[in-house]
Amino acid sequence: MSIHLLKLVFVPFISLFIMLSSVTLGKGANLPLMAGSALLLFVSVIADKKYPWIKALQFLILGVFQYASHLNWCILLYYILTINVIQHKSKLGQMMPYALLMISEYSLIRFTFTPFNMYTVLVAVFDILSSIVIIFMFHIIVRIETEKKTLFKQNKYLINHDPLTGFLNYDGYMRAVRGLADSPGSFQLILLDINNFKSLNAKDIATANEILISFSISIRNHFTNMLAAARYAGDRFAVLLPSTEPFKDLRSFDDLGLRVTYSITHYPQEASTFQEVISMAEERIFQMRRESWLKSQEEFMRSAKMKTVGELAAGMAHEIRNPLTAIKGFIQLSKLQNYNIEPWYEVIMGEITRVGELTAEFLQFSKPHMSNMKVDSLIGCMTRVFSLCESEAASRGHTFTMELPEQQVMVFMDRDKMIQVLINLIRNAFQAMETTGNVHFSLSLEQQAAMIRVEDTGKGIAKSEIGQIFDPFYTTKEDGTGLGLSLCQKIVEDHGGTISVHSEFGVGTIFTVKLPVAEEEV
């Protein structure tokens, strides 16, 4: 029950009871004065909410009523009026003067119709102590209620708001959109997404929070007339704007180093229900993010390609410059011999041949795609490779074996390119064995993929080198171009496959080519 309602119920009831008691006990010295002051007190109680200044007069009216009734029971009315005055005071020091003033008035008026002796003095002291205790207890109750209201407000705020930015959280955002959709009128729902947020705060949570706080401040400054704003899903924000508010360009966020994707959905022009406007906004921001991601991926791939082209061009220039430098030197020497190049003819021709081989392999490496792709037998392809390499193995003194499955294995491939890859791997295996060794050539089916392995018992590859063997122009051979394995890797990847290597130094090396099996074989 509120204090105002308490006054309206108890003040007239207590006043009437005191008047009747005073008349019955023969205490009322002035009945008209008592009835008039009681009526004025009740009217002031009704009007003091609208006219707060009346509260100052209520104690005077109550004093007249107490004097006219000649009863001590008016103390209850003093307590009610005192609580009415101090109900909005939060500090005990602000309450106590009113209590002392009230009890002083009451005691002084009481002495006008009661004998002044030790008993009445002690009763006055007791009344003062009672008023202090009552005010103190009222202060405790007010403080508890104030703390309870504060906690309730804080809890309600935390339920609906993001503590970091002060914006609405997801639940608050849903309620805000639902409330606007249920009310007459129109609005705009704008979703904002920070594209590069993860890259900006990958290492430091504090930095991430600073970014979000700065972004929320920028949103407040940018959308000055927004109806509400929310942060949800980490780095995504929602802004509700009046339908008449023009949408401003988002370039102001560039100062924060943020790339922002946004979508705009109008209600009810584009969506007629609360669920529709949310779904449409989410779908649009998803599509915008996807387009932004695809664009960034294209830029990344373009950059990666340009980097690769640059590395290839630099490597090719370096590799060609070496033989050209040698040829130039021999030509300059021949000038001293009347242009007789016979002593260096073989060396010059060897260097020219090397330039030709480099150019040929580089052209193969740069071909954009396979030219003769079709479903073909991998067993037939490997059998052909085995027959081509068998004589070379014998001439080097190596043992060359092949292991094939009984069932046919069909692969979508360019047969000539695949033969080129496998021959290159097998010849590398032959060259890796400085003494007589064994090369095992095998095919197996594992999890709907064809696995071709070339195993040798050569010297192996050092751990420091194994990560570089597929890099263009990297080679450990004196006469190698460094494009062989890079070309093999490109051809295999063009076939949708992968090539990997496992090697133990001093034991041997295994190259594995993994190719997807054609659909009719799956």
Output the DSSP codes for 417-434: HHHHHHHHHHHHHHHH-S
Q: How is residue 167 annotated by DSSP?
A: S
* Chain center to CA of 320: 51
Q: How many CA atoms lie within 13 A of 167 on its CB side?
A: 29
DSSP β-bridge partners for residue 230: 168, 238
pLDDT at res. 185: 85
On whether the CB atoms of residues 270 and 243 are closer than 8 A, the answer is no
pLDDT at res. 453: 92
Question: What average pLDDT does the segment 381-410 reach?
Answer: 86
pLDDT band at 512 (very low <50, low <70, confident <90, very high): very high
Question: Which of 82-86, 240-244, 479-483 bottoms out in mean pLDDT, i.e. has the lowest?
Answer: 479-483
pLDDT band at 514 (very low <50, low <70, confident <90, very high): very high
Structure tokens at 210: 């600073």
Output the DSSP codes for 90-126: -SHHHHHHHHHHHHHHHHHHHTTTS--SHHHHHHHHH
How far is residue 158 from each of residues 170, 171, 226, 231, 312, measured CA to CA in Å? 11, 11, 21, 13, 58
Cβ neighbours, 10 Å, residue 372:
10
Q: Per-residue pLDDT for 342 more than 60?
A: yes
pLDDT at res. 409: 87
Q: Per-residue pLDDT for 328 more than 80?
A: no
pLDDT at res. 513: 92
Q: Per-residue pLDDT for 61 more than 60?
A: yes
pTM value > 0.85: no
Cβ neighbours, 10 Å, residue 316:
20
**What torsion do the CA atoms of 264, 267, 269, 274 make, to the nearest 10 degrees?**
110
Q: How is residue 518 annotated by DSSP?
A: P
Cα separation, 256 vs 210, whole angstroms: 11
Q: Per-residue pLDDT for 232 more than 70?
A: yes
Share of residues in the chain with pLDDT > 70 (%): 81
Share of residues in the chain with pLDDT > 90 (%): 2
pLDDT at res. 522: 42
Residue range 120-178, pLDDT digits in tens: 888 888 888 887 888 788 778 778 887 888 788 877 777 788 888 888 888 888 888 88
Residue range 422-437, pLDDT digits in tens: 988 888 888 888 888 8
Question: What average pLDDT does the segment 477-499 reach?
Answer: 76
DSSP β-bridge partners for residue 379: none
Q: Per-residue pLDDT for 463 more than 80?
A: no
Q: How far apart are the first and last CA of the chain?
A: 80
pLDDT band at 508 (very low <50, low <70, confident <90, very high): confident
Q: How is residue 458 annotated by DSSP?
A: S
Q: Per-residue pLDDT for 454 more than 60?
A: yes
Residue range 194-225, pLDDT digits in tens: 776 665 554 566 677 787 888 888 888 888 88
Residue range 274-293, pLDDT digits in tens: 888 888 888 888 887 787 77
Long-range (24+ apart) CB contacts under 8 A made by 396-402 are 396/430, 396/433, 397/436, 398/430, 398/433, 398/436, 398/437, 398/438, 398/439, 399/436, 399/437, 399/438, 399/439, 400/426, 400/438, 400/439, 400/441, 401/438, 401/439, 401/440, 401/441, 402/440, 402/441, 402/442
Cα separation, 55 vs 41, whole angstroms: 10
Structure tokens at 120: 């009445």
Q: Per-residue pLDDT for 70 more than 60?
A: yes
pLDDT at res. 122: 87
